[in-house]
Structure 1
Amino acid sequence: MAKDKLPRNLSDGCKLCYIGAKLVLFITGRCDRDCWYCPLSEERKDLDVIYANDQKITTPEEAIAEGEIMDALGTGVTGGEPLLEIERVVEFCSALKKHFGKEHQIHLYTGHAPTEEDLAALVGCVDEIRMHPPHEVWKDILNSLYVQSIANAKMMGFSIGFEVPSLPGLRHFFPLLDSVDFFNINQLEWGDACADNMRERKLETENPLCNAIKGSTKWAGEINGHPKVHYCTSTFKDSVQLRERLKRIAMNSARPFDMITEDGTIMYGSMEVKGDLELIIPCLRAGSYYEEMEDGTIELDWQQMRKIPRKFGGERKIIERYPNDGMIVEVIPQ
């Protein structure tokens, strides 16, 4: 998506999401809250693990490598609760800034109301702070520590706002809209991790083909329309945000024979070699690439694989997967 087509009410971090240029740095799964709508999976929730996009990592250097693969223009630091590991946040974000430059935009999500001490530690390595107060405190938000955090953050040079799910009660934030730089509402979505909690509350999806919760757009309407409010739909996240990020990764990581799809996935052929590989190579177009795998198969252009006579190979399949050795989407036997 071209930058000139972006909505006007986006924070700098959100602009990166729209063009798929944000590295997602999951800094820890630890959290001192227990929000019923938390979407984290068992592989992350309450565990002290680190991910860069979907790759499990342990060092800042690995985060930088993931950022390089997608030509990241910025990073979103998520959790869990990142401020429980603030020293790690500073370590990773400082490394990212040093490598990619000061213009590499970094935004941090937190359920806390950052203290002056927290903010002082983040100066120079985080640009934008997105607070997401638990739903149960919304009705008392004007009397909460979040109000002071806004004032402190702005005084210290941060861009600061809220990012919350679309739930009833958003009207309580209305008096604070003029004091923040942005207010993001994410459409509430059904998730495996919080499905039981949603059933208890009689929530259901808008239709069987999507994860958006019925009524969530109406709840967002309590404040949606204010110039600082941006409503991010589940459709956008699925059809635009993820796709644009995958495309950037694919463009930098695809092998010569990988075909990049419109959705940002890659497709290639996988063929079991029976006999002498040297008999197969002449069947390929001159200058073609292929890769020998440890399991005795070769991976190659799927269209060329179809043209190789059956007598030269065993099982064949076309594989579609996320780029950079990501999740397999579909396997098509040939």
Structure 2
Amino acid sequence: MNLEIDKKKYIDLNRSEYGDLYPTFRFPTEAESRDYGAEREQLLGRLSPHVRWDYQRTKADTTRMSPGCRLCGDGYWSCLFVNNRCNAACFYCPARQTGQALPGTSSLDFPEPEDYADYVQALGFRGVSISGGEPLLDFAKSVRFIEVLRKRFGKELYLWLYSNGICADKEKLQILAGAGLDEIRFDISATAYSLAKVAWAAGIIPHITVEIPAIPEDVEIVQNLLPQMVNIGVNYLNLHQIRVTRHNAPQLIARGYTFLHGPKITVLESELTALRLLLHAREKRIALPINYCSFIYRHRFQTGAARRRHAALIKQSYEDITEAGLIRTMGSMAVPDRIQYLTDQLSAANIAPENWYYSPAKSTLYFSQAVLKVIFPLLDNLHLDYHVSLLLPSVSYRRSFREIALNERRVVIVERAPVLADIELNPVEMRLFYDTFVKIPARRDLYRVIEEPEEPHVLSAQDLAEHWRDIYFYEKIKTGLYEYY
């Protein structure tokens, strides 16, 4: 059994998503995958003395990062898209930017800034970015959202805005600063790498970031600009990996890029370009904080953060939220006398009663991880369920749900959907589950727990049931950059 979501599954998902375009994509051969992987390992080895990796080794250099990037990684960021139109024509843009959509985020529309501020407060965000499209095309609307958020939260909320800079001028930048903007991020690849607008902003907005995709053909251009960025007052450079969509695929194919399978298809050369730029800056001792934002980081951590936030709104007190953001329900079936004995043990251990729940109809005691640590030696069976939480504008009536009132006018809906139901673990599997996810939570490699157990399990990787792949996926965020294939 492979504990990864296996390659074949992602290949099938990618083929289904991209349809008739998929056969036109160039993926690496096995030999190319090995060679490119070896090249990446060499770059990572040379970078090792110079950079710090965080977020399960998917993001570097995190020694000095924008406060907004830190809030994103820690799960406290909301991105508001004020429109869906743009005045640039970037070949890598993942979506068609030609519509005038309502401001919104996470499938929710927020025409009124006050409602969005209530949403930010209800869900506990500490950072908000204003994006599009191009938010400066709807300048008054963007400023209004910034003003309302700043008035509501003061300096407790970090605010930044993304722009290609085409319609930025000193007056607009002054207005944004006066409204309370903390940071502006320019995609200078949209303007032939001009730093003119960036230089204007450097004397007006508190924090200045250049955020661009790592474009393979432009590596020398960016290398040569690094000292100039330092000189004009750029605080941060963010490089992100190019993602392939149905919209941008024809342009990316025309450039001869090598595509990679995964949760979404990405450009191989884009990641290597980002690592080369980071290495160049460190070896040349260029004093500019540079952050490589890999797609797998965004997939794992932005998705996990949203799931954890929504799960907290709908989980029961006796359920847990896993590192991956799923709601985990644990239970053990027993006769009433045995249940009474177990709950007596919990009371004696001063475990609060909200950490467990007895269902007479199912003859099952449900309990949290804190309870499992106390009663594990007393159990002879363990059942697991996992649910994913969803934030919706209205009730689907297909799942259990909870209404979250933002204010007197507006509610949002959190639903929970089952993804793995009623998995019964045998005694050997119970010990493996306990050692991997409860007793030693910092240990992330299930194979290590099998091969180097503190107590023998008499269980090999070949013996594991297929549901273990799903359990591991729903429990943990994997470590490291994604494999090339």
Q: Normalising to structure 2: TM-score of the pair?
A: 0.52
- Relative to structure 1, is the Cα distance of residues 121 and 209 closer, same or farther in structure 2, using a 3 angstrom cutoff? closer
Which residue does the alignment assign to 1:99? 152
Which residue does the alignment assign to 2:206? 158
- Relative to structure 1, is the Cα distance of residues 170 and 6 closer, same or farther in structure 2, using a 3 angstrom cutoff? closer
Tell me whether 1:190 sits opposite 2:250 in the alignment. Answer: no
Question: Of residues 170, 176, 195 in structure 2, which corresponds to 1:122?
Answer: 176
Cα deviation for residue 82 of structure 1 reads 0.3
- Identical counterparts, % of pairs: 24
**What's the secondary structure of 1:39's corresponding residue?**
coil
**What's the secondary structure of 2:298's corresponding residue?**
helix
Q: Which amino acid aligns with 1:85?
A: D
Tell me whether 1:14 sits opposite 2:69 in the alignment. Answer: yes
Q: Which amino acid aligns with 1:201?
A: R
- Relative to structure 1, is the Cα distance of residues 304 and 119 closer, same or farther in structure 2, using a 3 angstrom cutoff? farther
**Quick check: 1:6–1:15 contact (8 Å CA) kept in 2?**
no
**Quick check: 2:310–2:414 contact (8 Å CA) kept in 1?**
no
Describe the superposition over 1:117-139 as per-residue Cα deviations: whole angstroms up to 9, x where unpaired. Answer: 1101101321100001245x43x
- Relative to structure 1, is the Cα distance of residues 219 and 98 closer, same or farther in structure 2, using a 3 angstrom cutoff? same
Describe the superposition over 1:228-249 as per-residue Cα deviations: whole angstroms up to 9, x where unpaired. Answer: 2111111111112331243234
**What's the secondary structure of 2:212's corresponding residue?**
strand
**What's the secondary structure of 1:223's corresponding residue?**
helix
Larger radius of gyration: 2
- Relative to structure 1, is the Cα distance of residues 106 and 208 closer, same or farther in structure 2, using a 3 angstrom cutoff? closer
Cα deviation for residue 267 of structure 1 reads 6.8
Partner Cα separation in structure 2 for residue 82 and residue 210 of structure 1: 26
Partner Cα separation in structure 1 for residue 390 and residue 361 of structure 2: 22
Cα deviation for residue 16 of structure 1 reads 0.8
Which residue does the alignment assign to 2:259? 205
**What's the secondary structure of 2:82's corresponding residue?**
strand
Tell me whether 1:69 sits opposite 2:122 in the alignment. Answer: yes
**Quick check: 2:130–2:162 contact (8 Å CA) kept in 1?**
yes
- Structure number with the bigger relative contact order (C-alpha 8 A, sep ≥ 6) is 2
**Quick check: 1:19–1:245 contact (8 Å CA) kept in 2?**
no
Cα deviation for residue 167 of structure 1 reads 0.6
Partner Cα separation in structure 2 for residue 130 and residue 116 of structure 1: 15
Which residue does the alignment assign to 2:235? 181
Partner Cα separation in structure 1 for residue 259 and residue 414 of structure 2: 28
Aligned CA-pair RMSD: 3.4
Q: Normalising to structure 1: TM-score of the pair?
A: 0.73
- Relative to structure 1, is the Cα distance of residues 328 and 188 closer, same or farther in structure 2, using a 3 angstrom cutoff? farther
- Relative to structure 1, is the Cα distance of residues 326 and 255 closer, same or farther in structure 2, using a 3 angstrom cutoff? closer
Partner Cα separation in structure 2 for residue 262 and residue 108 of structure 1: 29
Tell me whether 1:81 sits opposite 2:148 in the alignment. Answer: no
- Relative to structure 1, is the Cα distance of residues 68 and 254 closer, same or farther in structure 2, using a 3 angstrom cutoff? farther
Cα deviation for residue 220 of structure 1 reads 1.7
**Quick check: 1:170–1:223 contact (8 Å CA) kept in 2?**
yes
Q: Which amino acid aligns with 1:320?
A: H
Which residue does the alignment assign to 1:171? 220
Can you give the 5+ residue segments of structure 2 that lack an aligned partner in the other structure? Answer: 1-53, 282-287, 330-338, 340-355, 365-384, 392-412, 423-485
- Relative to structure 1, is the Cα distance of residues 264 and 68 closer, same or farther in structure 2, using a 3 angstrom cutoff? farther
**Quick check: 1:26–1:53 contact (8 Å CA) kept in 2?**
no
Which residue does the alignment assign to 1:112? 165
**Quick check: 1:164–1:184 contact (8 Å CA) kept in 2?**
yes
After TM superposition, the structure 1 stretch with the greater mean CA deviation from structure 2, 178-187 or 155-164, is 155-164
Q: Which amino acid aligns with 2:220?
A: R
Partner Cα separation in structure 2 for residue 260 and residue 45 of structure 1: 39
Cα deviation for residue 8 of structure 1 reads 1.4
**Count, aligned residues:** 285
Which residue does the alignment assign to 1:216? 270
Cα deviation for residue 74 of structure 1 reads 1.2
Partner Cα separation in structure 2 for residue 191 and residue 260 of structure 1: 31
Partner Cα separation in structure 2 for residue 101 and residue 80 of structure 1: 26
Tell me whether 1:55 sits opposite 2:117 in the alignment. Answer: no
Which residue does the alignment assign to 1:238? 299
- Relative to structure 1, is the Cα distance of residues 23 and 320 closer, same or farther in structure 2, using a 3 angstrom cutoff? same
**Quick check: 1:203–1:214 contact (8 Å CA) kept in 2?**
yes
Describe the superposition over 1:195-241 as per-residue Cα deviations: whole angstroms up to 9, x where unpaired. Answer: 33323333342335553311112222442133421111111111123
Can you give the 5+ residue segments of structure 1 that lack an aligned partner in the other structure? Answer: 269-284, 286-300, 310-317
Which residue does the alignment assign to 1:133? 188
Partner Cα separation in structure 2 for residue 320 and residue 103 of structure 1: 32
**What's the secondary structure of 1:58's corresponding residue?**
coil
**Quick check: 2:61–2:292 contact (8 Å CA) kept in 1?**
no
- Relative to structure 1, is the Cα distance of residues 327 and 130 closer, same or farther in structure 2, using a 3 angstrom cutoff? farther
Describe the superposition over 1:246-283 as per-residue Cα deviations: whole angstroms up to 9, x where unpaired. Answer: 323432x2253775343224478xxxxxxxxxxxxxxx
